[in-house]
């Protein structure tokens, strides 16, 4: 007989919080709902996370790692040419959608809209966006762009727009349009 190992409490909390925050927003989900969904006691949740903000910050750290890995994977999938990678990174939006092509938008844009500037939660969203822009800037510099910072800003603004559009329109229609727009921006920049 096989004994099924129960998922650790922290992992259940994070999985439930991630699903709920992404689907309903950080303000639309209370601690009681996370406790109910994860099947832990209130004391257990607070043993792992001192406050809801700490849980939201953990959600954002996890989302940051996952999204940056997806961006890098999508860029690398098109080959070693940094110019092609600048266009290929948009495939990450398709990777982030579910099997039905649905996508709830960028967790960071969504959270930024629900948090006050200057708070740790809002600052985490700003830090993430800067890190993505810095990485895109590194790709732009490696590609030989005359103004890699400007190109990175343009492409990340487009990326944010694509993620917003993909939240309300079918992802399979959005990504090809995004790649075409990115290609035009990249080609015009050299």
DSSP state of 5: P
pLDDT score for 4 = 60
Residue 169 three-state SS = coil
CA 148 from centre of chain: 22
pLDDT score for 104 = 86
pLDDT score for 101 = 54
Query: Does residue 1 have a pLDDT over 70?
Result: no
Residue 71 neighbours by CB distance under 10 Å: 24
Contacts within 8 Å (CB) and 24+ apart, 158-164: 158/182, 158/185, 159/89, 159/90, 159/93, 159/132, 160/106, 160/109, 160/129, 162/90, 162/93, 163/93, 163/103, 163/105, 163/106, 163/109, 164/105, 164/106, 164/109
**How far is 177 from 16, CA to CA, in rounded Å?**
33
pLDDT score for 116 = 96
Phi-psi domain of 39 (left: phi exceeds 0; alpha: psi -120 through 50; beta: other) = left
**How far is 81 from 75, CA to CA, in rounded Å?**
9
Q: Kindly list the structural domains of the chain, giving each domain's residue range(s) and its CATH number in brackets, ordered by start.
A: 1-49 (1.10.10.60), 53-188 (1.10.357.10)
The candidate with the shortest Cα–Cα distance to 86, out of 164, 13, 187, is: 187
Tokens of 9: 């409490």
pLDDT score for 172 = 86
The candidate with the shortest Cα–Cα distance to 155, out of 133, 138, 177, is: 133
- Residue 2's pLDDT band, with cuts at 50, 70 and 90, is low
Q: Are 156 and 132 in contact (CB under 8 A)?
A: yes
Q: pLDDT tens digit string along 88-115? A: 999 999 888 865 656 788 999 999 999 9
Q: pLDDT tens digit string along 55-99? A: 999 999 999 999 999 999 999 999 999 999 999 999 999 888 865
């Amino acid at each position: 007989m096989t004994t099924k190992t129960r998922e650790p409490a922290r992992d259940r909390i994070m999985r439930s919080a991630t699903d709920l925050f992404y689907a309903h927003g950080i303000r639309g989900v209370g601690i009681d709902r996370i406790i109910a969904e994860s099947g832990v006691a209130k004391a257990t949740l607070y043993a792992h996370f001192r406050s809801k903000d700490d849980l939201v910050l953990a959600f954002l750290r996890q989302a940051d790692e996952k999204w940056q890995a997806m961006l890098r994977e999508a860029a690398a999938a098109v080959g070693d040419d940094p110019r092609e990678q600048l266009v290929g990174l948009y495939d990450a939006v398709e990777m982030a959608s579910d099997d039905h092509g649905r996508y709830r938008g960028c967790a960071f844009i969504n959270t930024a809209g629900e948090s006050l500037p200057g708070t740790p939660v809002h600052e985490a969203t700003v830090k993430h966006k800067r890190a993505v822009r810095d990485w895109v800037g590194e790709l732009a510099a490696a590609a030989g762009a005359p103004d890699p910072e400007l190109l990175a800003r343009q492409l990340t603004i487009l990326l944010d727009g694509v993620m917003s559009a993909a939240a309300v329109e079918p992802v399979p229609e959005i990504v090809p349009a995004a790649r075409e727009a990115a290609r035009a921006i990249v080609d015009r920049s050299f």
